[in-house]
Chain A
Amino acid sequence: MATALARQPVSLKLLSSGFLALWCLVAAFPILWIAVMSVKSPVDAFDDRFWNVVTGPATLANGSGVSVLGIALYLAACWGMVRLVARQMPSLIGQIPPRRRWIGWVLGAAVVTLGAALVLFVLLPTLLAVLNPLAGPLGRDVFGFTTEHYRTVWIERGFLRNFQNSMIVTCGVVLVSLTVGTLAGYGLARSGSTLAFWILIIALVFRALPHSVLVAGYLPVFINSAEILRPILGDAAPTLYGKPLAVIAVLVAINQPFTIWMLRSFFQNIPADLDEAARVDGCTHFQAFRRVIMPVMWPGVITTGLFSFLLGYNDFLVTSLLLDAQNQTMVPAIAGMFNRETTTTDQVVAVAAAVSITAPLFILVMVFQRQIVSGLTAGAVKG
């Protein structure tokens, strides 16, 4: 209800919405622009005229384009699939007993990915090939649109390999960071001792170190790791330099202080009464942690996990310094695609790679946004 108190003058409304719109444009423009570039032929992508980049006449001339009907169909398909998944999936998975529910989520995600790929890359193109000639002017190609750069990147340039490496490094970082972080964060949150305080301060100091310092410190150890580890592992001792394991170790070292601090503050928001109630009810200290505290902690774990994921996923310095060619992750791989000798074709291919690398992040944030903002602890204690 618009009361006199809540009513804003028109000028203020215009100003604030105008500012918001401008801000959205500035923030989203680079992403949208490279997304547009990545589906055009190099001639269009680097054209001086704005409108030529958007419509892509040279791409159209090459015979790759999309009709109005095509755009409408693709948009409808995307919207329909999102609606279907959002409505059906939680209730379907809710029927599985809680203990095995995570299997349901993994299976569900796999089915959704496969289904989406099938619809978007097989079903719709076939359908459009039949429908376009029948639709008259609506069926004529109006925008240049080609997926050839994506094909080049993922198949010819072996970006899939980089993607796998990125996933290995990122998952390793998230897994180690969260395991150590939850245990340490819980312990430090519940301990009132001076030692706990100093551990946290020292963690902060390590967090403040430049990343290159850590890399420099670890480098000799990784290069000589075969000799160092020989007394323990025998001849199987690996040279860690160039392996994902080395990058995971350094990234965890960089990330761990932050996860400990963040998880600690989440744990501190959970009243200690809950642990105590669980211990009186019959739990050991560890059972109280696992059965009572962790279920309440999920939003905190997911939020911290997301930040760890981003650190591992987006890292350039450590991965470019420590990994050899076949273990290269995506970010340094894209950086390697740009150099003085590159042609415009190579550059558009690199742009397509850059667009590919952002897609998983969008999906990740959208899937977990509810956990990130939710406050499960509400109602734990007196209201």
Chain B
Amino acid sequence: MAEIQLRNLQKRWGDFVGVEGFDLTIADREFLVLLGPSGCGKTTTMRMIAGLEEVSGGEIRIGDRVVNDLEPKDRDVSMVFQSYALYPNMTVYENIRFPLKVRGVDPASHDEKVMRAADMVELREFLHRRPAELSGGQRQRVALARAIVRQPNVFLMDEPLSNLDAKLRVSTRAQIKNLTHDLKVTTIYVTHDQIEAMTLADRVVVMRKGKVQQVGTPTEIYDRPANAFVASFIGSPAMNLIDGQVAEGTFTADGTAISGLDLPDGPLTLGFRAEDARLAEFATQAEITAPIYTIELLGDAVMISVRIGGALVSVKADKSFRAEIGTPVSIHVPARICHPFDADTGERV
């Protein structure tokens, strides 16, 4: 049972800022995902919580203890590494038992605990193999079993799925979600894959260049991105962003005129999602008119892209839609689906 509090957490290497002013309270049993592009400080934040990286400033509390100066072993956390970090000289059984052994847990209970952990990740038949004899997915499950075997307060996962192929990733993702639900531990999960974040998280923290961009439930982050960066990072495809000008409630850009916006005059970045917009039935209905740049068949829909200014703008059309590249299309973008962002700072207006 552990609530984790991060107070103004900072990490610097000389002049380089890794993480800056991170403030967050992670509730007991919450599944929190740290999301961001590589180099955004998400892994550094997790490593600071684990105790593998020294804290340059601020405070980390796990439960009611300040853990800043505690060794990793004294923090009661367990971690799954991106590379799995299995002990190559030990069998699967010995790997899973290792945390119990070094922590001096009563040897009589080892067997039962290892078996329970191995059963949870369906590893029972591989217990006597060495890591080198396992496939990537099996190694990943050994790493999971080693992390859950001693029932820690906090469960840390550093991009655990990034070395798996696409199909295995989906099934392991489901397994992780189910596992953490059963175990009822606070989990922090680092990823750069927004789909993992959306599917797994209770709450998502989007980070960029060491700073927190937005904290919220997946729905909040998807429906109301706090700035243009979050908007462009979440969703597949990313949100369309068009640079243009607002005059008397009408947004104009290359081939674009969207009216009915309640915004002051001046430059603006306007965003909308491909799945919210649709093709207009009549040219008079269209806010955007441009020639097709590419057309991609997705199976359940057809993705049409046009170029506005320098940016690609995508819209989802019915799966039976067909057209040649270069033919002009009309796109209906009502004002209510638009997300206005400041042209300079990218903050939501």
Rounded to whole Å, the gap between the CB of B161 and the closest CB of chain A is 12
Closest to B81 in A: A273
A295 to B95, CA, bound (A): 13
Closest to A281 in B: B99
Closest to A277 in B: B85
Near A by CB (< 8 A), chain B positions 66-99 give: 71-73, 77-79, 81-89, 98-99
Does A212 sit within 8 A of B, measured CB to CB?
no
Give every chain A residue within 8 A of B139 (Cβ-Cβ): 379, 382-383
Closest to A279 in B: B72
Does A236 sit within 8 A of B, measured CB to CB?
no
Whether the pair A377, B88 counts as a contact (CB closer than 8 A) is yes
Near B by CB (< 8 A), chain A positions 264-309 give: 271, 273-274, 276-284, 287, 291-292, 295-296
Most A C-beta atoms less than 10 A away, residue of B77, B89, B103: B89
Does A310 sit within 8 A of B, measured CB to CB?
no
Does B132 sit within 8 A of A, measured CB to CB?
yes
Rounded to whole Å, the gap between the CB of B50 and the closest CB of chain A is 6
Whether the pair A379, B85 counts as a contact (CB closer than 8 A) is no
| Size bracket of the B interface | 20 to 34
Does A27 sit within 8 A of B, measured CB to CB?
no
Per-residue CB proximity of B146-169 to A under 8 Å, as 1/0? 100000000010000001000000
Does A118 sit within 8 A of B, measured CB to CB?
no
Whether the pair B131, A281 counts as a contact (CB closer than 8 A) is no
Does A380 sit within 8 A of B, measured CB to CB?
yes
Give every chain B residue within 8 A of A291 (Cβ-Cβ): 102
Does B209 sit within 8 A of A, measured CB to CB?
no
Whether the pair A280, B88 counts as a contact (CB closer than 8 A) is no
Per-residue CB proximity of B242-286 to A under 8 Å, as 1/0? 000000000000000000000000000000000000000000000
Give every chain A residue within 8 A of B135 (Cβ-Cβ): 383
Taking a contact as CB atoms closer than 8 A, the residue among A283, A296, A376, A382 that contacts B83 in the complex is A382
Give every chain B residue within 8 A of A279 (Cβ-Cβ): 51-52, 71-73
Q: Footprint of B on A, CB under 8 Å?
A: 271, 273-274, 276-284, 287, 291-292, 295-296, 376-383
Nearest 9 A-B pairs (CB), nearest first? A379-B132, A277-B85, A273-B85, A381-B83, A281-B99, A282-B103, A380-B88, A282-B102, A295-B89
User: Please, could you name 18 A-B residue pairs with CB atoms under 8 Å apart, sorted by A?
Assistant: A273-B81, A276-B79, A277-B79, A277-B81, A280-B51, A280-B72, A281-B73, A281-B78, A282-B102, A292-B87, A295-B89, A296-B89, A376-B88, A379-B86, A379-B133, A380-B85, A380-B131, A382-B139
17 further A-B pairs in the complex, CB-CB below 8 A; given A379-B134, A382-B84: A271-B83, A276-B81, A277-B87, A278-B98, A278-B102, A280-B73, A280-B78, A280-B156, A281-B146, A282-B73, A284-B71, A292-B87, A295-B89, A378-B88, A379-B130, A382-B163, A383-B139
